[in-house]
Amino acid sequence: MSDGNVPRQADSGAIRIGTNALKRKSYNREGVFAMIDELFIRAFKAHQQQGGVFHRDSDRAHEVFQMSTISALSQGLYDGEITYAQLAQHGDFGLGTFNGLDGEMVAFDGKFYQIKSDGKVYPVDGSLKAPFAVVMFFDPTVKFSSDDETDFKAFQHAIDGAVPSKNLFYAVKCEGDFKLIKVRTVPRQKKPYPPEVEVAKTQVVSVCRNVRGTMVGFRFPDYTKGINVSGYHLHFLNQSFSAGGHVFDFVVSEVRIEIDVVSNLHMAVPESGEFLTADLSKDQTEAIRKVEKNKDS
């Protein structure tokens, strides 16, 4: 299931940025942020002029596929019924987890990986199941590179200021030299499953320094709160396939960023099990924020 190739566009449309604009310090619009915004906006406009940032291929649906909801996961619904072999039919790029919350999943370049709490990375067997996952066939329409250093805050600010709309979906792939990246994994849970906010108390948080790797994920609109993580949800894997996890923070340079703009979301939910009787009407916003953003307020 993991030998497929992600379709790619020619690199002729890529934009190279090397203006010392992507800096970690100085977060005001009069300075660095204004320069970052201009560069990202220029990248999007360039690709719009080349034919637009949307896909118009009627032969295949270009969509984000999601299994279950982040609220369900937050409440402790850790047993899914979709296998990774089935999930791969909907995409080979994305993120998620495994039954029992057994580590973090990251997928790119047509391959799926499982990052467990022991710090080891494993190829994903197609028979494993996912209680929550978000995947797609990544085909970026916006590509650009930078030699300069940026951190998570500047990264989010720049993309948010450049995208054509905050109400669309964006898949993001970032390859670079990470001066620092803070990631987490969680240990496999046993029934009765605790809510995710309790699991987070035993999460394994690691700080990797001076590593090259790939970060992938999505930006979901604010109106999808409860369905997915609103804003950025990113997972990381280092180049040696020996470390990674859910991303809390990073500082990166020599970076290549690719963005796929998507207007279609296909969501499926379990047709049996605890999902059918769970009370999913509760507001999980703060619990999700604590778990996914590593923030208490």
With beta carbons less than 8 A apart as the criterion, state whether 99 and 128 touch: yes
Higher pLDDT, 94 or 37: 94
Q: Which of 275, 129, 281, 101 is closest to 203 using CA atoms? A: 101
pLDDT at position 33 is: 44
Neighbours of 289 (CB within 10 A): 18
Give the mean pLDDT of 192-209.
96
State the helix-helix crossing angle for 32-49 and 152-162, rounded to 10 degrees: 50
Band of pLDDT at residue 18, cut at 50, 70 and 90: very low
Which CATH number describes the domain made up of 11-293? 3.30.1330.80
Helix, strand and coil content of the chain, in percent to the nearest 5, comes to 25, 35, 40
Of all helices (H) and strands (E), which one includes residue 181?
Answer: strand 169-185
Residue 95 clears pLDDT 70, i.e. is over it: yes
The arithmetic mean of pLDDT across residues 258-281, rounded, is 94
C-alpha torsion 84→85→90→96, nearest 10: 10
Q: Output the CA torsion 105→109→110→111 (10° steps).
A: -40
Average pLDDT in the chain? 85
pLDDT mean over 28-41: 47
Q: pLDDT tens, 201-213? A: 999 999 999 999 9
Percent residues over pLDDT 70 in the chain: 78
Are 257 and 143 contacting, i.e. CB atoms less than 8 angstroms apart?
A: yes
What pLDDT does residue 141 have?
87
| Rounded-to-integer distance, Cα 249 and Cα 154, Å | 11
pTM, two decimal places: 0.83
pLDDT digits (tens, 9 = 90+) for 113-162: 999 999 899 999 999 999 999 999 999 988 888 888 999 999 998 888 88
Residue 32 has pLDDT above 70, yes or no: no
Q: Which residue has the tokens 């699991």?
A: 199
What is the β-pairing status of strands 265-268 and 64-67? parallel
